Structure 1
């Protein structure tokens, strides 16, 4: 009973499909030189597969029962460190690293935010609820504030789906592999990112019912009209339907 209660509190659904593990690890596109952080490692379904692809895996598991099992399972693997700690409280490494993991659904957004704030993160390959991944990757033709804000620095894409039957216990929803990758060359210069972020935040405030109305509230009506024409955006278009590339055109025209 205690184990079941702990599992519910920690949103633990363990991946048992070896083919799914292989697809996720392949999607991470790791090199033998990579340092990998694995949040929510559980009992290690993915840990050893990752260890075969990279230089070092630091596996984080907050549940003491599963952390102990994982420590035993990996005791002969010098490339794996098991840490019993909440991943969200971990300091980011001072060297390039990747994050790969089957993360608890309940802390998906905090873990994604942690990754985006980490200056040395190269990529994050995360198994999330499929609905979350599709919204962030623009699969519905709509784009979220978070995706647009970070688009100049990160790509967002879905690297495949994982059926709910691949887990034990079986969750109520299907999952998807969400991959974030830091761009080698940002689409907006670092010194201009604050201005870009301000523009995006203003647009998503929804003033006047459309992006056009929101941006016109700055008083620069002529410039906004020119920018919309350059980007090919209809003036009545709701902000969520404006594509990332159109946002970049707006920014470059307005600045």
Structure 2
């Protein structure tokens, strides 16, 4: 089969360094019989060693040329190919406990991470390669420049860990950025203390919507001065100063206030 040319619209950069591939597979530690899905297998750099260790692997791929290659190289007993967009794929349909891995397209990294978070209850862990800048935001701590909506919302649901960096030269074609490997392990349900997770999401989005503005301005639709006092929060702070637990406390306070107002009505 002729050489596949990377397609910019799919954000394709194919991993080609055997030492990096080995290091990633060792980090994932796939065990025979485990239920695993790879997002965007590409030319199969990680697919081959994963199939070898697992026995069977699911993959989600959107590029029809690459899908044809996969069918040519693997039998249905070894590889199940799900053709389509990972952003629309129902990962819950594969069963549980599910392990998810992949070299995620950098151009859709944030929306795909939020999509995957919806299936956290069925997931054992996720290991991804992403642009280093995105990974630094995912694992960022309060008060740092990288800390934002992505940090708070993912850290609410997952224990995050940055494993190691991958240089541009490990890919073909080489991207213009450094990449990193990140692992995400869903937290136990009992640790998810937000009474309304959708409300938490709206509050976090508002808090980081205008980074230079204080909480008094960004959260004015949710909190008044009495609320800040009740929460023991300085209304003059900016969103990046608050820990994830403080955002949860705000969301639960707003939810309780709404419930009281509903009862009074």
Contact 2:153 2:201 in 1 (8 A): yes
Partner of 2:261: none
Partner of 2:162: 158
CA distance in 2, matches of 1:222, 1:206: 23
Per mean C-alpha deviation after superposition, the further-off stretch among 217-226 and 164-173 is 217-226
Partner of 2:11: 11
- For structure 2, the 5+ residue unaligned runs are 257-265
Contact 1:130 1:175 in 2 (8 A): yes
2:116 counterpart of 1:112:
no
1:86 alignment partner, SS class: coil
- Cα displacement (A) at 1:109: 2.5
- Cα displacement (A) at 1:14: 1.0
Inter-CA distance 92–117: structure 2 relative to 1 (3 Å threshold): same
Inter-CA distance 29–199: structure 2 relative to 1 (3 Å threshold): farther
CA distance in 2, matches of 1:206, 1:109: 19
CA distance in 2, matches of 1:113, 1:153: 10
TM-score (norm 1): 0.79
Per mean C-alpha deviation after superposition, the further-off stretch among 152-161 and 129-138 is 152-161
Deviations 1:120-149 (A, max 9, x none): 233321111111111222164542213313
TM-score (norm 2): 0.77
Inter-CA distance 53–203: structure 2 relative to 1 (3 Å threshold): same
Partner of 1:85: 84
What value does the CA root-mean-square deviation take over the aligned residues?
3.2
Inter-CA distance 71–173: structure 2 relative to 1 (3 Å threshold): same
Inter-CA distance 2–174: structure 2 relative to 1 (3 Å threshold): same
Runs of 4+ in 1 over 6 A off after TM superposition: none
Contact 1:14 1:168 in 2 (8 A): yes
Partner of 1:99: 100
Partner of 2:149: 145
2:48 alignment partner, SS class: helix
Among residues 118, 121, 124, which one is paired with 1:122 in the alignment? Answer: 124
Contact 2:40 2:104 in 1 (8 A): yes
Deviations 1:76-133 (A, max 9, x none): x833223443333322234221220112222222322321122523332111111111
Partner of 2:180: 176
Partner of 1:131: 133
CA distance in 2, matches of 1:190, 1:25: 35
1:204 alignment partner, SS class: helix
Inter-CA distance 204–88: structure 2 relative to 1 (3 Å threshold): closer
- Cα displacement (A) at 1:20: 1.4
Partner of 2:34: 34
